[in-house]
Amino acid sequence: MKGLHIGEAARRCGSSTDTLRYYERIGLLPPPGRDAGGRRVYSERDLGRLRFIRRAQSVGFTLDEIGNLLRFRENPARASREVRSLAMRKHDEVRETLTTLQQVETELALLVRLCPGDGDECPILEQLDQQT
Amino acid sequence: MLVEIYYSPYCPHCRGARDTVDRTLASLGLTATVEERNVLDHLDAAVAAGVRMTPSLAVNGRVAVAGPFDPDRVAAALRDGDR
């Protein structure tokens, strides 16, 4: 057998078997292949789609948006104007999120380095706390 | 050229940072506006400049030296900033 059964596929993608069946039911995932016993078998391509769904969900995309982006992902050259526009808009949103995350990361990196010791007391951070 | 020294209180390597910058500017024959900024008072500006540790030297708004001010690295940053 080439591919993974539903339990292992779900585990690899940090999901549940119910979720995978749900994605299939609403059309986010195409029906996977079946083994001789009729059990679902997920290919590497299916797993790639699943990982994309999980990542997109984790950054706040709706399932409807994800469905459209998956169509774009499958065939960027043939995507409709609407789907291409959605992809560009989401790309802009992700870039803005990255910029914000970078600022937060820099600030936290700076703050944790202000008191390099492992003690509980940090006069610098206490001073900062008093300012806010 | 704008040169900003980001420091924090109780930071041992921050002491002498200003002297290193002043001496290096003088030895290179460069003039610059030098400002010392406590990161606790200028946290947003520090983050915008990319300051991740103290001391840090920002030249024209971007961090050019992070950590203890090695005179050679400070000189290279100031020469670059003056171009």
Inter-chain CB proximity A103 and B47 less than 8 Å: yes
Optimal mutation site among A104, A106, A108, A110, interface B, most CBs of chain B within 10 A? A110
**How close, in Å, is residue A123 to chain B by CA atoms?**
9
Q: What distance in Å separates residue B2's CA from the closest CA in chain A?
A: 22
pLDDT band at B57 (very low <50, low <70, confident <90, very high): very high
Shortest distance, CA A102 to any CA of chain B (angstroms): 9
Class of residue B72 by CB neighbours under 10 A (exposed 0-12, middle 13-18, buried 19+): exposed
> How many CB pairs lie under 8 A apart between chains A and B?
36
Say whether A106 and B43 touch across the interface (CB within 8 A).
no
Residue A123 has pLDDT above 80, yes or no: no
Provide the ipTM.
Answer: 0.79
Going by C-beta distance under 8 Å and a sequence separation of 6 or more, which residues neighbour residue B38? Answer: B7, B8, B9
For residue B65, pLDDT over 80 is answered with yes
Q: What is the pLDDT of residues A73-121, one digit of tens each?
A: 888 888 888 888 988 999 999 999 999 999 999 999 998 888 766 556 6
A5-14, A68-77, A117-126, B53-62, range with the lowest pLDDT: A117-126
Minimal Cα distance from A99: which residue of B? B48
Of B40, B48, B54, the CB nearest to A128: B40
SS3 for B14-71 is HCCHHHHHHHHHHHHCCCCEEEEEECCCCHHHHHHHCCCCCCEEEECCEEEEECCCCH
Residue B34 pLDDT: 97
Task: Note whether A124 contacts B40, CB cutoff 8 Å.
Answer: yes
Give per-residue pLDDT as tens, A18-69: 999 999 999 999 999 999 999 999 999 999 999 999 999 988 899 999 999 9
Task: Please tell me the pTM assigned to this model.
Answer: 0.70
Smallest CA–CA distance from A130 into chain B, residue: B40
pLDDT for A124 equals: 65
